[in-house]
Structure 1
């Protein structure tokens, strides 16, 4: 009969992987940009809001099928969840983004994406229904930014 003794095996640490934390942060970012609650996202995925919280903190690893569902519900390509990943975690480096979701910007701080002002600006931008007007607003903002 096999032994259940695990004393000679090292105990597995229950520390969140930096990649799981990064992916969870990207889930939270997109959910927040859409103005979606954890509860609403959970309902769309058949999860509780507590499970969504664990995904967003990186405590629970997101499997491939769940990542596919998240991409569908949050309306982003799967690569979005890996965008801006630091080189040390296997990111592309150089500020490039895997999905082409946004242009790279030198000196762009991750903290910028989490500011209330940024989230409100992005929400307002996507509430503009007319694509031509939205494009003109985009061009205006780009013209006001300092040149590189």
Structure 2
């Protein structure tokens, strides 16, 4: 059995966090992305949590499914001393973005955008 390596585990979590955040930002469920890349939603969850390591071939499929390059998933890795974590505020922003993308009406999206802009002006 291979020995655990903390740095490798941090890399796995770093890449998994990026997949998770990007999947949510694109408004995809875990099941939807899992089907596209040919794994179960449980396996995708293990990738996102960094529990299971992602092969290069599988990462290529994930990158294509999420319209990113392979480099995207490694970008910023060299600057990390610890694993990246999302704050509650970041998670809320991702959730708002995900829900916004589900709104089919461009008029409704424009109204929501105008509301957010007016709220920003009030708080400034």
TM-score bin, normalised by smaller chain? 0.5 to 0.7
Pairs aligned (count): 109
**In the aligned structure 1, how far is the partner of 2:102 from the partner of 2:74?**
22
Change (3 A) 1:122 1:51: closer
- Structure 2: segments with no counterpart, 5+ residues: none
RMSD of aligned C-alpha atoms? 3.4
Residue 43 in structure 1 maps to residue 35 in structure 2: yes
| Structure 1 stretches lacking a partner, 5+ long | 1-9, 90-108
- Partners of 1:115 and 1:23 in 2: CA distance: 17
What are the equivalent positions in structure 2 for 1:21-60 lying under 5 Å apart?
21-60=13-52
On the 8 A contact 1:113/1:119 being kept in 2, the answer is: no
Runs of 4+ in 1 over 4 A off after TM superposition: 125-130
Query: Whose RCO is larger (CA < 8 A, sep 6+)?
Result: 2
Question: Normalising by structure 1, what TM-score?
Answer: 0.56
Report the TM-score when normalising by structure 2.
Answer: 0.65
